[in-house]
Chain A
Amino acid sequence: MKKTEEILAKYSDRSELIDILEEIQESFGYISEENMRKIEQTLKIPLVDIYGVATFYSAFKLKPSGKHIIRVCKGTACHVKKADLIQSRIEELLGIKGGETTKDKKFTLELVNCIGACAKAPNIMIDDEVFGELTKEKIDKILKEVKRV
């Protein structure tokens, strides 16, 4: 995990704000107020601008996420191939709804708009890995494995 200072040392331009926020998101799992203030101090970008950008893009989280992010694709192809069933099953197994994090902070469940693997619908992503052609049985197996690891 990189320190904020290490990350900020690479950047100097206002136009790189989204790149900065992406690195902070990757290192810390979310964008804290403390980090936003550090960006403001180091790069002289108004805090309101930083907050405005951080709240506009759905990739940025302002609250800590779980260790693993499970993204259920709600794109058109997944929708017609029963993404609702997949979402409901995961919610049932983890005991949380879309947008929430499990009490043990292991998993955050997100509902996202199209990850672009439509030929293998319905899909989910767990962190950077895509799992496709899902059924109730496959979901049960995958989550069991992920929980174990």
Chain B
Amino acid sequence: MKKITDLVDAEKGRKELAGDRITVGVATCGISAGAMPVLDTLKDANLGVLVEPVGCSGMCYNEPIVTVKKDGVHSIYSHVTKEKTKKLVECIRKGKKCEEFFVANKLSEIEYYKKQRRLVMENCGVINPLKLEQYVASGGFVGLENALKIEPAKVVDSIKNSKLRGRGGAGFPTGIKWSFVSCKTGKKYLVCNGDEGDPGAFMNRTLMESDPFRLLEGMIIAAYAIGSDEAFVYTRAEYPLAIKTVQSAISILEKKGLLGENILGKDGFNLKIRIKKGAGAFVCGEETALMNSIMGNRGYPRPRPPYPSDMGLWDKPTVINNVDTLANVAVIMRIGVNEYTKIGTEKTSGTKTICLAGKIKRPGVIEVPFGIPLREIIYDIGGGTPKGTKFKAVQSGGPAGGCIPASMIDLSLDYETLTGAGAIMGSGGLVVMDDEDCMVDVARYFMSFIQEESCGKCTPCREGNMRLLELLEKITGGVGTREDINLIKKLANFVQNCSLCGLGQNAPNPVLSTMRYFMDEYIDHVENKTCVAGVCRSIITYSITNKCVGCGNCARLCPVSAITGKLKERHVIDPEKCIRCGECYRNCAFHAITKSGAKKS
């Protein structure tokens, strides 16, 4: 057996990481914020320093992010757009700190990171994602070395003892899942589920773009443990950069003998990893539908049993693990089970990558130990809601999940605690909502999503969710009744208990959880025809009063040209065209616009 340093020049990587270096975060968020021209400008400036791309450090709210290490001083800069890069270049040439965009010297000094614990994401935003030397210099493939020194069954035991739970949503113990397959003989498959269809979840994308070797190392260890020689990374087509990055990483590993035959010199340990792209079907995040998609079929789920561990891809035993789960495998086999189980809770070890989005000051990808109170995530890490709006609820678990209201913000982040509160951990997307969000509309929104994504195979989901959507649309449309609310509860129960797969079974979760905590909003909609958040278009009306001086500002702001009027004359809002965005209402300097339908009577 070989050592990783026999195959990869870790010393080169170590020197690059330790020396003078300028990095620009160019994962998807960074690119959308304009990071590519910044990288190009810094490269063209010939500063005599290594300038290279890195992935996402998770601090998405600060993109584009540039780090400069020169003459022993390390600085982190934020919001460095192309226009501002010239100034930064001047500062670097003069050896000065550029105060205007300076954030901190180290990540650990930034409020955002103080309560985080970065294990899975420790390389993200630090290393060049496709420089294997830098990955190895940072401890990469030590996990694989450790795994290959022991029998596969011992690797399975290690993962069992680590109490690693599947990070895709269900939280099933990974070691136990592996043991169902590792004891079998013959052809076996490993699948990495990178579909990440949950709206609000982008942690898998972040890892695939920023540290693809971490994922692949985890897959190689998993394949060794279960006895598989063929693996797939199933990822959604909406992630072109992630697909390209992982594909490049696979090619690099193949060239280095870390994929293919006799990996790391271990005789007989062969593995081929291929990427399979999804094609825009949320249901393909469900493991049986995913397998159908890999096999080139319509993405229909099927009943379980038989479980994939008995009959998976092409009827062979198959293990399906989430991206995050596999990344954790690489971490565990490097730092050891004892160290890993010190983090997290009694039932769930380790950390969880979480995506914070919505009405939050500091949206991005974070990594926290299990057991951390939600309050610390929302306020200490996320900075609370922006511009003084009131925090109302946090949606956890996407369309299969539920809302945790502000009153329960001291709940700890763990599978059982969230389920008990009517939400689920899910993939870890937390979407924060404030008093401008209508919880009935949120339920309608999720039901609309699910109804569109339902594969149509089973009647309870196909018909039941359509009827639930119709009822919710009645309520948000201002024509709902108390009977509709009662019918929703009955129908939701039926859909949960009778649907074929997790998509249908969990579809009623958002409406049931919003009813549990925000029933007053439902009652307001049906009895008082009121939407206190001011969202529901059929209930809210904006009108211009005679206080209007005809400045025309509202007409300019209106995104759909619903406001007309002559200069210095009272303007008029066309209620048919008006989308109730409230831009005119919020920006009228003369308070001439009224909003009806939002006040509790």
Asked if residues A113 and B357 are in contact (CB atoms below 8 Å), the reply is no
**Could you give, for residues 111-132 of chain A, a 1 whenever the CB lies within 8 Å of some chain B CB and a 0 otherwise?**
0111111111101000011111
Q: A119 with B559: in contact, given A17-B296, A80-B433, A112-B280 (CB under 8 Å)?
A: no
**Could you give, for residues 570-587 of chain B, a 1 whenever the CB lies within 8 Å of some chain A CB and a 0 otherwise?**
000000000101010000
**Could you give, for residues 187-205 of chain B, a 1 whenever the CB lies within 8 Å of some chain A CB and a 0 otherwise?**
0000000001111111001
Write the chain B residue with the least CB distance to A115.
B238
Q: How far is the CB of B81 from chain A (nearest CB, A)?
A: 12
Q: How far is the CB of B28 from chain A (nearest CB, A)?
A: 5
**Could you give, for residues 420-442 of chain B, a 1 whenever the CB lies within 8 Å of some chain A CB and a 0 otherwise?**
00000000010101000100001
Majority secondary structure of chain A interface residues (helix, strand, loop or mixed): helix
Write the chain B residue with the least CB distance to A136.
B559
Write the chain A residue with the least CB distance to B579.
A88
Whether B542 is near chain A, meaning CB under 8 Å from some CB there, is no
Write the chain A residue with the least CB distance to B299.
A56
Contacts of B236 in A (CB 8 A): 116
Write the chain A residue with the least CB distance to B362.
A119
Contacts of A89 in B (CB 8 A): 559-560
Asked if residues A76 and B445 are in contact (CB atoms below 8 Å), the reply is yes
Contact of B355 among A56, A74, A118 (CB under 8 A): A118
Number of interface residues of A (CB under 8 A): 51
Bound together, the chains give a CA A58 to CA B437 distance in angstroms of: 29
Contacts of B282 in A (CB 8 A): 113
Asked if residues A59 and B198 are in contact (CB atoms below 8 Å), the reply is no
Chain B 543-560 residues near chain A, CB threshold 8 A = 557, 559-560
Whether A62 is near chain B, meaning CB under 8 Å from some CB there, is no
Write the chain A residue with the least CB distance to B283.
A56
Whether B363 is near chain A, meaning CB under 8 Å from some CB there, is yes
Whether A53 is near chain B, meaning CB under 8 Å from some CB there, is yes
Q: How far is the CB of A53 from chain B (nearest CB, A)?
A: 6
Contact of B429 among A49, A112, A118, A132 (CB under 8 A): A118
Q: How far is the CB of A132 from chain B (nearest CB, A)?
A: 4
Asked if residues A114 and B200 are in contact (CB atoms below 8 Å), the reply is yes
Contacts of A120 in B (CB 8 A): 29, 32-33, 60, 63, 363
Contacts of A117 in B (CB 8 A): 28-29, 32, 202
Write the chain B residue with the least CB distance to A78.
B199
Bound together, the chains give a CA A23 to CA B103 distance in angstroms of: 44
Asked if residues A57 and B199 are in contact (CB atoms below 8 Å), the reply is no
**Could you give, for residues 28-43 of chain B, a 1 whenever the CB lies within 8 Å of some chain A CB and a 0 otherwise?**
1101110000000000
Asked if residues B296 and A53 are in contact (CB atoms below 8 Å), the reply is yes
Contact of B238 among A78, A84, A116, A131 (CB under 8 A): A116
Contacts of A129 in B (CB 8 A): 31-32
Whether B295 is near chain A, meaning CB under 8 Å from some CB there, is yes
Bound together, the chains give a CA A132 to CA B280 distance in angstroms of: 21
Bound together, the chains give a CA A77 to CA B434 distance in angstroms of: 12
Contact of A80 among B198, B239, B298, B431 (CB under 8 A): B431
Write the chain A residue with the least CB distance to B61.
A119
Q: How far is the CB of B156 from chain A (nearest CB, A)?
A: 28
Bound together, the chains give a CA A113 to CA B358 distance in angstroms of: 15
Contacts of A74 in B (CB 8 A): 199, 449
Q: A57 with B559: in contact, given A77-B431, A113-B197, A119-B364 (CB under 8 Å)?
A: no
Asked if residues B299 and A130 are in contact (CB atoms below 8 Å), the reply is no
Bound together, the chains give a CA A13 to CA B314 distance in angstroms of: 13
Asked if residues A123 and B32 are in contact (CB atoms below 8 Å), the reply is yes
Q: A77 with B281: in contact, given A15-B296, A119-B29, A120-B60 (CB under 8 Å)?
A: no
Whether A29 is near chain B, meaning CB under 8 Å from some CB there, is no
Bound together, the chains give a CA A112 to CA B449 distance in angstroms of: 10
Whether A68 is near chain B, meaning CB under 8 Å from some CB there, is no
Whether B338 is near chain A, meaning CB under 8 Å from some CB there, is no
Asked if residues A21 and B197 are in contact (CB atoms below 8 Å), the reply is no
Q: How far is the CB of B207 from chain A (nearest CB, A)?
A: 12
Q: How far is the CB of A134 from chain B (nearest CB, A)?
A: 10
Q: How far is the CB of B436 from chain A (nearest CB, A)?
A: 8
**Could you give, for residues 66-89 of chain A, a 1 whenever the CB lies within 8 Å of some chain B CB and a 0 otherwise?**
000000001111111110111011
Contacts of A22 in B (CB 8 A): 237, 277, 279
Whether A104 is near chain B, meaning CB under 8 Å from some CB there, is no
Whether B219 is near chain A, meaning CB under 8 Å from some CB there, is no
**Could you give, for residues 131-142 of chain A, a 1 whenever the CB lies within 8 Å of some chain B CB and a 0 otherwise?**
111001000000
Bound together, the chains give a CA A59 to CA B195 distance in angstroms of: 14
Q: How far is the CB of A113 from chain B (nearest CB, A)?
A: 6
Whether B177 is near chain A, meaning CB under 8 Å from some CB there, is no
Chain A 17-36 residues near chain B, CB threshold 8 A = 17-19, 21-22
Contact of A113 among B60, B240, B452 (CB under 8 A): B452
Contacts of B293 in A (CB 8 A): 18
Asked if residues B281 and A57 are in contact (CB atoms below 8 Å), the reply is yes
Asked if residues A76 and B32 are in contact (CB atoms below 8 Å), the reply is no
Contact of A53 among B28, B298, B433, B445 (CB under 8 A): B298
Write the chain A residue with the least CB distance to B558.
A136
Bound together, the chains give a CA A77 to CA B433 distance in angstroms of: 9
Asked if residues A57 and B279 are in contact (CB atoms below 8 Å), the reply is yes
Whether A145 is near chain B, meaning CB under 8 Å from some CB there, is no
Bound together, the chains give a CA A17 to CA B276 distance in angstroms of: 11
Whether B254 is near chain A, meaning CB under 8 Å from some CB there, is no
Contacts of B395 in A (CB 8 A): 76
Q: A19 with B199: in contact, given A81-B358, A92-B560 (CB under 8 Å)?
A: no
Bound together, the chains give a CA A15 to CA B291 distance in angstroms of: 11
Q: A16 with B32: in contact, given A113-B199, A113-B282, A136-B559 (CB under 8 Å)?
A: no
Q: How far is the CB of A46 from chain B (nearest CB, A)?
A: 12
Contacts of B60 in A (CB 8 A): 119-120
Q: A112 with B281: in contact, given A80-B359, A118-B429, A121-B357 (CB under 8 Å)?
A: no
Contacts of A78 in B (CB 8 A): 199
Q: How far is the CB of B361 from chain A (nearest CB, A)?
A: 11
Asked if residues A77 and B357 are in contact (CB atoms below 8 Å), the reply is yes
Whether B453 is near chain A, meaning CB under 8 Å from some CB there, is yes
Q: For the A-B complex with A74-B199, A76-B395, A113-B452 known, give 15 more contacts whose Cβ atoms are closer than 8 Å.
A: A17-B296, A18-B276, A56-B455, A57-B279, A76-B199, A77-B431, A79-B199, A88-B581, A113-B453, A114-B198, A117-B28, A118-B431, A119-B61, A129-B32, A132-B29
The 7 nearest A-B residue pairs measured at CB: A119-B60, A75-B199, A57-B279, A77-B357, A58-B280, A17-B296, A59-B280
Show 5 residue pairs from A and B whose CB-CB distance is below 8 angstroms, ordered by the A residue.
A57-B279, A57-B299, A76-B357, A76-B431, A130-B32
